[in-house]
Chain A
Amino acid sequence: GQNIDQPTEMTATEGAIVQINCTYQTSGFNGLFWYQQHAGEAPTFLSYNVLDGLEEKGRFSSFLSRSKGYSYLLLKELQMKDSASYLCAVRAPLNDYKLSFGAGTTVTVRA
């Protein structure tokens, strides 16, 4: 089975940086994904890591350490529109097509 943990809530100030951690325990690993979900809207894809290291995409970066079962999503230069839930999701071995999601981290950006 999959066990994916992430903090429930985080609050930060506009223009600041926030780091959302995700730890996972899975039977096999074939990629970690981050999605953003605004209230009442569909989740949208942010990033994908399958090898160790940092993936940078504009203001968002995602890091993966497979040996530690750990990932983080870094949001820089926070904007009010970044207030949303951030979902960490893991895919297990090849031929396992589902994504297993964490409960999500609600980020609130304050002026």
Chain B
Amino acid sequence: DAGVTQSPTHLIKTRGQQVTLRCSPKSGHDTVSWYQQALGQGPQFIFQYYEEEERQRGNFPDRFSGHQFPNYSSELNVNALLLGDSALYLCASSSWTSGNTGELFFGEGSRLTVL
């Protein structure tokens, strides 16, 4: 049973560029959340997708956008990259049919470095 998979695992971009990160949720999960984790910090909520809609959004600018596809996979797009966007981007999947326990299954993350 495949867990949450993310790609790419590492990438380097320069300021002003755009990046797309991809996530496939754990089998049977229909909800995908994205988090940003700076070095030495806890994950910060970016947004959550359910039924191909953004259900909730954290305190991130519009440069951060996302999408969920019919197969529940998801993309995170970041435009006009800033140095401060350098972080580990974590995708987490869950299934609301199993009850509101909040158990998130995280992928290994995509490590973004902006130069």
Q: Which residues from chain A sit less than 8 Å from chain B, CB to CB?
A: 4, 30-31, 33, 35, 41-45, 48, 87, 89, 91, 94, 96-104
Contact = CB atoms under 8 A, between A and B. Distances in A.
B103 A87 contact: no
Contacts of B16: none
B56 A45 contact: no
Interface residues of B, number: 25
Interface in B51-91: 55-56, 58, 90
B56 to A, nearest CB: 5
Given A98-B33, A99-B104, A43 B90 contact: yes
Contact of B55 (A33, A48, A97): A97
Interface of B: 4, 31, 33, 35, 40-45, 48, 55-56, 58, 90, 100-109
B42 to A, nearest CB: 3
Contact of A31 (B40, B58, B102, B109): B102
Nearest to A101: B42
A94 B104 CA distance: 16
Contacts of B106: 35, 42-44
Q: Which of A45, A97, A100 has the most chain B CB atoms closer than 10 A to its own CB?
A: A97
Given A41-B108, A42-B108, A99 B102 contact: yes
A49 B90 CA distance: 23
